[in-house]
Amino acid sequence: MPVFLDTRDEGFEAEFRRLLTAKREDSPDVDDTVAGIIADVRARGDSALCELTERFDRMSLTPEGLAISRDEVDAEIAKVPAEDRAALDQAAQRIRAYHVRQMPEDARWTDPEGATLGWRWTAVAAAGLYVPGGTASYPSSVLMNAIPAKVAGVERLAICVPTPDGAINPLVMYAARVAGVDEIYRIGGAQAIAALAYGTETIAPVDKITGPGNAFVAAAKRRVFGRVGIDMIAGPSEILVISDGTGDPDWVALDLMSQAEHDESAQSILITTDAEFGRRVGQAVEARLETLERRAIAGASWRDFGAVIVARDLEEAAALSDRIAPEHLELCVDDPAPLSERIRHAGAVFLGHWTPEAIGDYVGGPNHVLPTARSARFSSGLSVLDFLKRTTLAQMTPEALAAIGPAAERLAAAESLEAHGLSVTARLSKLNCGPE
Amino acid sequence: MPVFLDTRDEGFEAEFRRLLTAKREDSPDVDDTVAGIIADVRARGDSALCELTERFDRMSLTPEGLAISRDEVDAEIAKVPAEDRAALDQAAQRIRAYHVRQMPEDARWTDPEGATLGWRWTAVAAAGLYVPGGTASYPSSVLMNAIPAKVAGVERLAICVPTPDGAINPLVMYAARVAGVDEIYRIGGAQAIAALAYGTETIAPVDKITGPGNAFVAAAKRRVFGRVGIDMIAGPSEILVISDGTGDPDWVALDLMSQAEHDESAQSILITTDAEFGRRVGQAVEARLETLERRAIAGASWRDFGAVIVARDLEEAAALSDRIAPEHLELCVDDPAPLSERIRHAGAVFLGHWTPEAIGDYVGGPNHVLPTARSARFSSGLSVLDFLKRTTLAQMTPEALAAIGPAAERLAAAESLEAHGLSVTARLSKLNCGPE
């Protein structure tokens, strides 16, 4: 049974803290294993990749077979039903339209001292996208990772997707094609991250790695961070629904289950100002759990990490939500705009009864790669900014240097960095001598 | 002696690769030590902090004394000469003016299907800034970290700065005051990072940690990444100067030395299209190295990692620069704009003869916390964006859901996520039944 809490109960704060700090992941310490795998790939390149893939994905592989060829992709795509293609096309178009708006602008201005300042954004040259394999090999994830990269202007986009026992997901191949992915490799786990970061004989190294993955992938991303850029360490999915008791309990139940069905470690929480509505949602969840295909997973998630919290009012609900800093937040109220204004820490907000979170997973437009485990306190979902970097620009005139140089000389002296100061002094001396 | 290379030489590519991959840092493997320190601070809080500070910074400390009090700060500030204050005030004003322009805009629009989409930026609630101690305790670093945080809207800003043997840097205190820092703690190393990430009895945890540090600090930041946000793992400083032979060899020599004097692991490189100019810069460096206060450090850096490269033309110079992806890049040519356009990977570009890199360290306006060790390929200098996060927003109308919901149902089915699909189906069914 999930937790039922009421903020008016005496023990609420302690119970809520327990909920906040609940360890949902086993987080096995795979760091030593991962360090070994990375070292192996760095030392032996393709040979290591092939051996590791044989061991973990049970398929024999040669260096020539690491890449999924264009012909293979064509053959896989031919298996995709036309309706699935159309759905994916619509999703891709909407995701692209949203992300195009994220492109930041360059800037350049001249200030009163005569200094011209500014910045310029440029794209990362090469990016690697990790796509989990097996049952969690999601075509939608390919779109969500690849489209922002291509919108940003990344020239070379490589995907690594493990194909356990050789099974390729045709719709993943179609998504890669639609998104403009340049290379696809049938490798996964820490070895894929190592290959992307350091390169092998066959796989050129990239500059940035994004995409979700299991504990091995996460540990490997953490290890190669610095050598390449990474996006985030994603944890199990979460949804928080805030309801004032309007709307359909079954809709809310399904929204809660749409996260719970991802993973036994997923977390679904309802905060409602209407205790009776909370009970009805609980009942609706139980009813749905009798028939859902993934009821074993969703049921375990709901039982172990689910919660229904009754709050005094929406203000209190919003404050609790900010403490949770949820990955996905649904505002199931008739007029969601004022409530939305109260929310500060959340990866993505879905406003009103007609915006199920699942829309955001596929076709809404915003990215579905979002900060989990309370990291919305300090980080954002994936965006084109993850594939761009900013170069700052500064140009002094002699007059500008005369105006601000003395302060630099003074501070350099205070920091005992003589050459710093002299590099300004030498120029100012020339200036003070007048034109040659 | 630094390396002198010519791109026309037969062995150039091999020599250049050696330069690119030269291991400049010892990178001692302090990870186990750091893991122990973090665990200790998590388990014993303030007591651990005091003991570790006694051990590493040779000063006895009680939990009450962890914070540098307002009165202590006042007393330290009183020691700062008026000219230093004025210089720091000017720097702070210019840094603020630059970073204010970085504030990104919120967005909201309604698309043809009737979906209202957008995003909203909000500030991180609490940030911790690490300031190295000892000789590398730089007031300018305080400004460069704290001002973007405050411009972003961070309410609570805590600094950790070790004070070995109890020595406080008065100008660091003044910089903290000017920048609006809220709390200052006299702790450093991995223990400071642990305290900021997990909190102790005295120090409340923060959401984001920024600032440079030694190997222990870097390893600790890497370990707490995910629990909190971090900025980057900074390495030793670098400068690359591109010159066409115009300008004063002594100015370039001083600019090269202004990085070399930071650290024996720093790297200073000149790429010039004029071999004779390259030789003259080399001679000017040797001359300056006879008198510079920090000649031992600067000389070692120049000897071990310095390089003068003669290129065929500026185009080739720019291409080599992009392979290096330098932290600081000076374009010492008469007309730097066209050359600047050719540069893609650099943390900060300084245009023209009158813009010594040291201006950017103090009073230029752009941030001096910049990506090192070729990470300008995928990351940017510190900015207000490091202290903001973006929440995506989506609101469907019944009509919008009718237009795009079927694609979501289709993709959910393809991904075997039944509840995802049902959360859309349940709503569309209601819609198809017409108004109640």
Which residues 152-211 of chain B have a CB within 8 Å of chain A?
Answer: 171, 207-208
> Per the CB < 8 Å rule, is A419 touching B367?
no
Chain B: give the shortest CA distance to residue A280, in Å: 16
CB count within 10 Å of CB B47 equals: 15
Which residue is closest to A127 within chain B, CA to CA? B378
A114 to chain B, any CB pair closer than 8 A? The answer is: no
Decide which of B128 and A232 is more confident. Answer: B128
pLDDT value, residue A434: 56
Q: Which of B198, B248, B328, B422 should one mutate to test binding to chain A, selecting the residue with the greatest count of A CBs within 10 A?
A: B422
Indicate whether A325 pLDDT > 50.
yes
Closest CB to B298: pick one of A257, A383, A419: A419
The response to whether A145 counts as a known ligand-binding position is no
Out of B76, B99, B238, B328, which one is annotated catalytic?
B328
Residues listed for chain B: 436
The annotation status of B102 as a binding-site residue, yes or no, is no
A246–B contact, CB cutoff 8 A = no
Catalytic residues of A: 327-328
A25 touches chain B (CB under 8 A): no
Smallest CA–CA distance, residue B375 to chain A, in Å, is: 7
Residue A368, chain B, CB below 8 Å: the answer is no
Predicted confidence (pLDDT) at residue A377 exceeds the cutoff of 90: yes
The strand pairing partners of A80, in sequence order, are: none
**Residue among A143, A225, A418 with most chain B CBs within 10 A, to mutate:** A418
d(C-alpha A89, C-alpha A97), whole Å? 12
Q: Which of B32, B124, B420 to probe by mutation at the A interface, max A CB count within 10 Å? A: B420
Partner-chain contact B228 A86, CB within 8 Å: no
Q: Give the closest of A254, A375, A404 to B226, CB-based.
A: A375
User: A86 CB near a chain B CB, below 8 Å?
Assistant: yes
Model confidence pLDDT, tens digit, residues B161-190: 999 999 999 999 999 999 999 999 999 999
Residues of chain B contacting residue A397, judged by C-beta atoms under 8 Å apart:
354
CA B214 to chain centre: 14
A101 touching B, CB under 8 A? yes
| Cβ contacts of B394 within 8 Å, gap of 6 or more | A348, A349, A350, A351, A355, A359, A360, A364, A365, A366, B115, B116, B117
Element of type H or E holding A324: helix A314-324
* Three-state DSSP class for residue A356: coil
Query: d(Cα B387, Cα B124) in Å, to the nearest integer?
Result: 5
What's the token pair of residue B144?
């460069």
Known binding residue B258? Answer is no
Question: Is A420 annotated as contributing to ligand binding?
Answer: yes
**Residues B199-230: pLDDT tens digits?**
999 999 999 999 988 889 999 998 998 899 99
Percentage helix, strand, coil, to 5, in chain B? 50, 15, 35
Residue that has been written with the tokens 């992915």 in this structure: A181
Q: What are residue B93's phi and psi, to 5 degrees?
A: -65, -40
Q: CA-CA distances (angstroms) from residue B66 to A86, A227, A400, B336?
A: 62, 35, 42, 49
- Is A262 a known ligand-binding residue? yes
In one-letter notation, the amino acid at residue A297 is I
Sign, CA torsion A251/A256/A259/A264:
negative
How far apart CA A250 and CA A282 sit, in angstroms, is 9
Indicate whether A435 pLDDT > 70: no
Sign of the alpha-carbon dihedral angle for B12, B14, B20, B22 = negative
| Predicted pLDDT at B435 | 52
Q: Rounded to a whole number, what is the distance in Å from the CA of A383 to chain B's nearest CA? A: 10
The reply to whether A141 touches chain B by the CB within 8 Å rule is no
- What integer pLDDT is reported at residue A69 of this predicted model? 96
d(CA A361, CA A141): 9
**Which CA distances in Å does A273 have to A139, A207, A312, A333, B239?**
37, 48, 6, 11, 59
**Distance, in angstroms, between A420 CA and closest chain B CA?**
5
Say yes or no to pLDDT of A432 above 80: no
- 8 Å CB contact between A347 and B391: yes
Residue by residue, DSSP assigns B56-105 as HH-----GGGSB--HHHHHHHHTTS-HHHHHHHHHHHHHHHHHHHTTPPP
Task: List pLDDT tens digits, range A401-426.
Answer: 999 999 999 999 999 999 999 999 99
Neighboring chain A residues of B426 at a CB cutoff of 8 Å: 248, 250-251, 254
- Mean pLDDT, each 10-residue run in order, chain B (436 residues): 92 94 76 95 97 94 96 97 98 98 98 97 98 84 97 98 93 97 97 98 97 90 91 88 98 98 95 98 98 97 97 98 98 98 98 98 96 95 97 98 98 96 97 65
Residues near B348 by Cβ (< 8 Å), separated by ≥ 6? A391, A392, A393, A394, B327, B328, B329, B360, B366, B368, B370, B381
Q: Do the chains contact at B117 and A410, CB–CB below 8 Å?
A: no
Confirm or reject contact between A389 and chain B (CB < 8 A): yes
Lookup result for tokens 């973006």 = B390
Which residues fall within 8 angstroms of residue B213, CB to CB, at 6 or more apart? B130, B132, B188, B189, B193, B221, B234
Give the per-residue pLDDT at B226.
Answer: 86
How many angstroms separate the CA atoms of A381 and A367, rounded? Answer: 7
CA-wise closest residue to A160 among A113, A119, A205, A128: A128
- State both tokens at A274: 């209407």
Query: Using N-to-C axis directions, what is the helix angle for A170-179 and A82-100, rounded to 10°?
Result: 40
Mean pLDDT for A388-407 is 98
d(CA A192, CA A179): 20
Give phi and psi for B147, each to the nearest 5. -65, -45
DSSP string across A140-209: HHHHHHHHHHHHHT-SEEEEE---GGG---HHHHHHHHHHT--EEE---HHHHHHHHHH--SSS---SEE
DSSP B258-287: HHHTT-TT-EEEEEES-HHHHHHHHHHHHH
Question: Which domains, and CATH codes, for chain A?
Answer: 3-24+235-364 (3.40.50.1980), 31-101+124-234 (3.40.50.1980), 396-432 (no CATH)
| CA separation for the pair A325, A341 (Å, rounded) | 15
First to last CA, chain A: 86
Residue positions counted in chain A: 436
A195: Cβ contacts below 8 Å, ≥ 6 apart: A41, A49, A160, A185, A187, A203
Ligand-binding annotation for B214, yes or no, is yes
| Residue whose pair of structure tokens reads 């761009």 in the numeric block | A388
Closest chain B residue by Cα to residue A260: B419
Beta carbons of B195 and B158 less than 8 angstroms apart: no
Query: Is residue A436 scored above 50 in pLDDT?
Result: no
* Residue B33: HSE in the Cβ half-sphere, 13 Å Cα cutoff: 13
Is B236 in CB contact (< 8 Å) with chain A? no
Closest CB from A226, A294, A351 relative to B393: A351
Size of interface A-B (CB pairs under 8 A): 384
H or E stretch at A230: strand A229-230
User: Is the CA virtual torsion B402, B403, B405, B410 positive or negative?
Assistant: positive
Report chain A residues whose CB lies below 8 A from the CB of B222: 222, 225-226
Residues of chain A positioned with their CB less than 8 A from the CB of B401: 354-355, 359
End-to-end CA distance of chain B: 86
Would an 8 Å CB–CB cutoff place A384 in contact with chain B? no
Contact B394, A349 (CB under 8 A): yes
Mean pLDDT of A207-231: 91
**Is there a contact between A347 and B392 if contact means CB atoms under 8 Å apart?**
yes
Q: Would you give the DSSP letter of residue B16?
A: H
Residue A309, sorted as left (phi over 0), alpha (psi -120 to 50) or beta, turns out to be: beta
**How many Cβ atoms are within 10 Å of B8's Cβ, its own excluded?**
11
Q: What is the ipTM of this complex?
A: 0.95
Contacts of A366 in chain B (CB under 8 A): 117, 119, 392-394
Q: Find, among A154, A175, A161, the residue nearest to A363 by Cα.
A: A175
